Structure 1
Amino acid sequence: MIDLSGRVAIVTGAGRGLGRAHARLLAQRGAAVLVNDLDPPQAEAVAAEIVAAGGQARAVPGSAADPAQVQALVDAARAAWGRVDIAVANAGLLRDRSFGNLGEDDIRAVLEVHLLGGFYLCKAVWPVMRAQQYGRIVLTTSSSGLYGNFGQANYAAAKMGLVGLMQTLALEGEKYGIRVNCLAPTAATRMLEGILPPEQLALLDPALVSPALLALVAEAAPTRAILCAGAGSFELAHVTLTRGLYLGPQADAETLLARWAELADRDGEQVPATGFDQARHELRKAGLAIPSG
């Protein structure tokens, strides 16, 4: 059993849907949960549910896109319980339109809540977790970012940006006991209303995603994972690098296109440990010995 007794969690966007399911499960496992949502009554309702079930919770409304309000979440959690062990960046919104019809406001609003909201939460909890030498951060990405989705260029860009943030913070946080992961959920939330038919939405209970969240915040959690979850199914996604081609100094685009099938061959592909591993891989193929450190 994963026991979170003594741990303190912040969940943004926890007034309904996935965030509510996450907050409830964390509390059931013993964590004190700060329930954040832009809608104060919704945040209060979820906190009240947790307390009524015997758990510990406080509601602190606020916008994930406002760094001062995000810092206030961390301050409130520390004032109430003395620490912050778990941070879940779950708040989100959609402004779906085909790219030609996408306005600047649609781009900015989605990036501010998802991508900047993730940055602000990480920035606010980072010094606390470093001082504790312990932390668990989960950033909510999406298959739209990983693989693309028609009409979601703004959302996809924000969600893939969170993957890059996770990759780097997992490296930087390792020596401080901070583990950072991404969760890519498929769940029946307001974001999917009107996109999927009711019979499919019924299979996508947000509560079926929350076990993945729990795994990512446990004592034995992995770090630097992209965990996909939906309808009781779980998968891992990876950003990989193929073996590729070495064409040498005389490389030209025509040869590259002519040999594209070789370039795309996924046999022997790798998951780089750091961004520099691409350069290391390419220089090694050019015959240069590159230190592994």
Structure 2
Amino acid sequence: MTKKNIILVVVAFLLLSVVASGCSKKDSTDAEVPAEQQVFEETAEDPDIAEEPVEIITGAPLEEPLAEPEVDEIEEEEPASEGSKAPEEQSTSLGDQPVPQEAPVQITELPVESQSAEPEKPSGPSIQLIKTNGETFYMSLDDMKDRSELHFSGSFYWLNSFGSTGHTDFKGVKLWTLLEAMEIVDSSSSRVKVIASDGYSMDFDISQIKRMDYIDETNQDVKLPIIIAWEENGEAYDPSEGAPFKLVVGQKEPGDINKPQWVSNIEKIIVE
């Protein structure tokens, strides 16, 4: 063979090798395509076949189900101690906001010495004195007799609704001076009510209680205050016959009927 023929044989051999290699690669590529895809491609090309669903059964093994992720066991929390246990009211449901808790109302008791307590009623005869704010005090008969600066003695002229008249001597304490000394009246006081044990009462304007110039129409020189008397015509009232106190009022002017204003057996005096 000539050199030229040898070269042609080699080139032909190389071309055959390349062609053979390309065919083998194509076959392997077709083999790698999944059967499902090939069926799908064939079905898409043929419209008659595409109208009916094709059940594909392959021999490929079913995929194993995904394994559930392992979850670390949650350690059970120990129950909270009684001191740290939250109250049921503070527990909340899912998605709810915490319920605001009302602040507890603190009640502070005043010390015993700062609490105002009603004074004890004296064992002997006494008058209850009530201030405008409701505070209560007592003035006993013995206290009245001991307060000489409050005393007054005098003769009072009286005139009743039937026209009867007379004079009566009394000893006692000036009512306005007593109320001032006991601090039962103040600038807000407007009226004074005197009440007997049987409920009979007389109501006076505060200006009437202040007056120290009530008269005796038979003696224009006499000036008299309103008094709480414990003695009449030189004789003390008997406590066994009732509260030994009497309200005595002079005349405001000549002809004034003042006897009905004399309240016997006084039990309490209320300032309003």
Work out which structure has the larger RCO, using CA pairs closer than 8 Å and 6 or more positions apart in sequence: 2
Name the one with the larger helix percent: 1
- TM-score if structure 1 supplies the norm length? 0.19
Q: Which has the larger radius of gyration?
A: 2
Name the one with the larger strand percent: 2
- TM-score if structure 2 supplies the norm length? 0.20
